[in-house]
Amino acid sequence: MTAHIIDGRAMGAEIKVELRNDIQRYMQTHGRLPGIVIVHVGTDTASGVYSKTILRIAEEVGMHASLEQLPTLTSPDELQTILQQFNSDETVQGIIVQMPLPTHLSQKMVGDTLLSSKDIDGISPYSAGNLFLGLPSLLPSTAAAVVEILERTHTPLAGKRVVILGRSNVVGTPLAMMLLQKNATVTICHSRTVDLATFTRQADVLIAAVGRVKLVTGEMVRSGAVVIDVGINYLLNGSIVGDVDFASVSQVASALTPTPGGVGPLTNIVLLKQCMQAAGWEAEAGKHATILH
What's 259's DSSP letter? S
Q: Is 170 in the site for ligand NAD (CB under 6 A)?
A: yes
The one among 142, 200, 274, 277 contacting ligand NAD by CB under 6 A: 142
Q: Is the Cβ of residue 74 or residue 141 nearer to ligand NAD in the bound state? A: 141
Q: Is the Cβ of residue 185 or residue 233 nearer to ligand NAD in the bound state? A: 233
CB of 63 to ligand NAD, least distance (A): 19
Please say whether the dihedral angle defined by the alpha carbons of residues 136, 107, 187 and 152, taken in this order, is positive or negative: positive
Q: Is 42 in the site for ligand NAD (CB under 6 A)?
A: no
The one among 62, 211, 218, 280 contacting ligand NAD by CB under 6 A: 211
Q: Is 190 in the site for ligand NAD (CB under 6 A)?
A: yes
Q: Is 263 in the site for ligand NAD (CB under 6 A)?
A: yes
Q: How far apart are the first and last CA of the chain?
A: 62
Compute CA 139 distance to the chain's CA centroid, rounded to the nearest angstrom: 7
Q: How many CA atoms lie within 13 A of 179 on its CB side?
A: 32
Q: Is 231 in the site for ligand NAD (CB under 6 A)?
A: yes
Q: Is 115 in the site for ligand NAD (CB under 6 A)?
A: no
Q: What phi, psi does 2 have (nearest 5°)? A: -115, 125
CA angle 151, 285, 283 (to 5 degrees): 70
Beta bridge partners of 37: 66, 95
* Cα–Cα dist 223/5, whole Å: 15
Q: Is 213 in the site for ligand NAD (CB under 6 A)?
A: no
Strands (DSSP E) contained in 119-276 are 161-165, 185-189, 205-208, 226-229, 233-234, 240-241, 255-256
Q: Is 167 in the site for ligand NAD (CB under 6 A)?
A: yes
Q: Which stretch binds ligand NAD (CB under 6 A): 126-134, 150-158, 189-197, 245-253?
A: 189-197
258 Cβ contact partners less than 8 Å away, ≥ 6 residues apart: 5, 6, 8, 229, 242, 246
The one among 196, 217, 222, 251 contacting ligand NAD by CB under 6 A: 196
Compute CA 234 distance to the chain's CA centroid, rounded to the nearest angstrom: 20
The continuous run of DSSP H or E covering 65 comes out as: strand 64-70
Q: Is 264 in the site for ligand NAD (CB under 6 A)?
A: yes
Q: Is 225 in the site for ligand NAD (CB under 6 A)?
A: no
109 Cβ contact partners less than 8 Å away, ≥ 6 residues apart: 76, 79, 80
Q: Which stretch binds ligand NAD (CB under 6 A): 20-28, 52-60, 226-234, 273-281?
A: 226-234
CB of 235 to ligand NAD, least distance (A): 13
Number of residues that bind ligand NAD (CB under 6 A): 23
Q: Is 122 in the site for ligand NAD (CB under 6 A)?
A: no
* Cα–Cα dist 265/273, whole Å: 13
CB of 268 to ligand NAD, least distance (A): 8
Q: Is the Cβ of residue 33 or residue 216 nearer to ligand NAD in the bound state? A: 216
CB of 143 to ligand NAD, least distance (A): 9
Binding site for ligand NAD (CB under 6 A): 142, 165-168, 170-172, 189-191, 193, 196, 209-212, 230-232, 263-264, 267
